[in-house]
């Protein structure tokens, strides 16, 4: 995926220098309005980690020394991705972080990828703007299921997008979300649903994207 096109570059970010004190860092955080910001080295090229507002305030409330360097409370020092990282690495690295630091090919700090940007990428997988119906098709996950499913659908309609999710909670362990293109009518959608169910696929949901 092209991370460069969706991440926020360094020049647009509020950052904290590793030489800052905790008192200076909380001032920067308060002024920016962010709950955490990246911490960079003196050259402003190397990512050191993140500093969180709540950690500084907790430190201060416990009588901590606010003249200590910001590195005293630094977090997420190893939480970063590269411009050429795969979607799966991004997805499992960001987890509950508000953003993930992005490094270039020379391991220099390039910018950040936010949760909202990642959600935007996922929403594009559903192809909402160019789709009409989104079918959630459940299957057992056996070999050839996806090929059979798409073959059935392709007899009646083009496929605007397709994404698979593993569930593993019951006999239907895989969910495949297929988006039919704009212009697909309800009659065609119903024919596809019947054809899929005839081949023992379970259509768990049919969502009309024009109703959102």
Question: Which CATH number fits the domain that encloses residue 194?
Answer: 3.30.70.260
Write out the residue range of the structural domain in which residue 135 sits: 126-211
- What is the domain-level CATH number for residue 27? 3.10.580.10
Chain centroid to CA 167: 19
Confidence of residue 175 (pLDDT cuts 50, 70, 90): confident
86-91 long-range Cβ contacts below 8 angstroms, 24+ apart = 86/1, 87/1, 87/121, 90/1, 90/3, 90/118, 91/118
Q: CA-CA distance, 114 to 112, in Å (whole number)?
A: 6
Are residues 114 and 186 part of one domain? no
Residue 66 CB neighbours (<10 A): 14
Any alpha helices (H) in the chain, and if so which ranges?
A: 22-32, 53-61, 87-94, 115-125, 145-154, 186-198
Are residues 102 and 12 part of one domain? yes
25-39, 67-81, 155-169: the lowest-pLDDT one = 155-169
Q: To the nearest whole percent, how much of the chain has pLDDT over 70?
A: 92
pTM of the model: 0.68
Encode pLDDT of 117-156 as tens digits.
887 777 666 556 678 898 999 988 888 999 999 999 999 9
pLDDT for 167: 59
Q: Which of 62, 86, 121 is the last residue of a domain?
A: 121
DSSP state of 125: H
**Residues 6 or more apart from 94 whose CB is under 8 A from it?**
100, 113, 115, 118
Encode pLDDT of 56-99 as tens digits.
999 999 999 999 999 999 999 999 999 988 777 888 888 788 89
- Kindly state the average pLDDT of the residues 11-33: 96
End-to-end CA distance of the chain: 27
Are residues 102 and 24 part of one domain? yes
């Amino acid at each position: 995926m092209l991370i460069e096109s969706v991440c926020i570059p360094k020049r647009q970010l509020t950052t904290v220098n590793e030489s800052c004190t905790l008192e200076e860092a909380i001032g920067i955080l308060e002024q920016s309005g962010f709950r955490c910001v990246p911490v960079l080295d003196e050259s402003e090229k190397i990512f050191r980690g993140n500093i969180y507002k709540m950690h500084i305030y907790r430190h201060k409330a416990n009588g901590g020394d606010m003249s200590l360097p910001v590195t005293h409370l630094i977090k997420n020092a190893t939480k970063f991705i590269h411009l050429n990282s795969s979607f799966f690495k991004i997805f499992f690295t960001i987890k509950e972080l508000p953003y993930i630091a992005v490094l270039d090919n020379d391991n220099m700090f390039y910018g950040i990828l936010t949760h909202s940007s990642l959600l935007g990428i996922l929403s594009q997988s559903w192809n909402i703007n160019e789709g009409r119906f989104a079918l959630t098709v459940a299957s057992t996950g056996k070999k050839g299921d996806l090929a059979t499913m798409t073959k059935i659908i392709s007899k009646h309609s083009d496929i605007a997008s397709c994404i698979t999710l593993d569930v593993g909670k019951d006999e239907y362990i895989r969910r495949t979300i297929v988006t039919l293109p704009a212009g697909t009518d309800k009659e065609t959608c119903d024919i596809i649903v019947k054809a899929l169910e005839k081949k023992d696929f379970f259509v768990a949901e049919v969502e009309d994207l024009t109703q959102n």
